[in-house]
Amino acid sequence: MSDKISYKDAGVDIDAGNGFIEDIKDDVKSTFDSNVIGGIGSFAGAYALPSGYKEPVILSATDGVGTKLKIAIESKKLDTVGIDLVAMCVNDLICNFGTPAFFLDYYATGKLIREDAAQVVKGIAKGCREAQCALIGGETAEMPGMYSENDFDLAGFAVGIAEKSEMDRVSLVKKGQVLLALPSSGIHSNGYSLVRKIFFDKLGMNYSDDFNGKPLYETLLTPTRIYVKEFKENKDNIIALAHITGGGIVENLPRVLPENIKAVVKKDAIKRLPIFEFLSKFVDEDEMYRTFNMGVGMIWVVDEDKVDDILKNTDAYIIGHLESGKKGVELI
């Protein structure tokens, strides 16, 4: 009997990795546009710089999905967290007036299960199609001993292009401008450590338990909304954008305000989703607004004379306005 040890004996299956690449080829290619150079399997992804920019600036954003991933793994529904991954990156890019160009992902696991990984990439590809960007690269790392067999982690990287003269939005923000909310699809990808503590530790609920007429896991795994299309269609009418992620409205909206401007947000104008109404039974209101998006996935700052045009073209609605005062958010 041979006493030689193979890489597979150590827990890493090269053949499974190669098979996985074949599994995802069609999904990946479905995201390609005319700027993608080459195919899948090279050492690096290549993307031609689009023409039409006077002073093009390359923007980048990276993020993960947080402990929402744990819910996906335990409920065995893996086809939507890839959308979350893309959304968390591209929604940040557009806040700097960047147009997403391409995306890369990193998938790290204890043992590569081809079917599971393919479901994740299917979601990533769907997110890229929604964000109108190309999935041009990725890395799958099989690391036994680092992760338990069923666990995996995700990271995403988006690259976009902006016109240099359009990037400084804060200098354009002034008192009298209007705050428009674009609804979130749900919790998005922030605050899940608190969500899990309430539903599973405190209340002892199961993923299959009913919540508003459907299994709880479906509500908790509702993918993060991607706002790229709306941004592109209304770009000329938008002064500034804030992606409402961890920290909620009170932490994220000030990032687009100058020092002498405060945002006044009407709490009763916010279209709160049922999931937030439920969670608010167990969490103080201030904590809710500092943790969750409360039903608002993105806030646009717009001039008053542009409001009607945007309301006609989107599902946005008015939640407040800007006044002179110390930089910050006043919830009334």
pLDDT of residue 31: 87
Whether residue 104 has pLDDT greater than 70: yes
- Region 39-54 average pLDDT: 85
The pair phi, psi for residue 53, each rounded to 5°, is: -95, 140
pLDDT of residue 40: 73
Whether residue 9 has pLDDT greater than 70: no
pLDDT band of 58, cuts 50, 70, 90: very high
pTM metric for this prediction: 0.93
pLDDT band of 43, cuts 50, 70, 90: confident
Whether residue 6 has pLDDT greater than 80: no
Looking at 29-43, 105-119, 159-173, 198-212, which range is the least confident one? Answer: 29-43
pLDDT of residue 7: 66
pLDDT of residue 165: 95
Tell me the CA distances in angstroms from 297 to 69, 185, 198, 293, 319, one per residue in order: 19, 8, 22, 6, 13
- Region 304-323 average pLDDT: 95
Whether residue 331 has pLDDT greater than 70: yes
Distance separating alpha carbons of residues 122 and 27, to the nearest angstrom: 6
Whether residue 17 has pLDDT greater than 70: no
Digit-coded pLDDT (tens) for 151-198: 899 999 999 999 999 999 999 999 999 999 999 999 999 999 999 999
Distance separating alpha carbons of residues 200 and 220, to the nearest angstrom: 12
Q: Tell me the pLDDT of the chain averaged across its residues.
A: 92
The residue whose two tokens read 């992902």 is 105
Digit-coded pLDDT (tens) for 242-295: 999 989 999 999 999 999 999 999 999 999 999 999 999 999 999 999 999 999
At residue 193, the 3 state secondary structure works out as: helix
- Region 83-100 average pLDDT: 96
Helices (H) and strands (E) in the chain, counts: 11, 14
Whether residue 99 has pLDDT greater than 80: yes
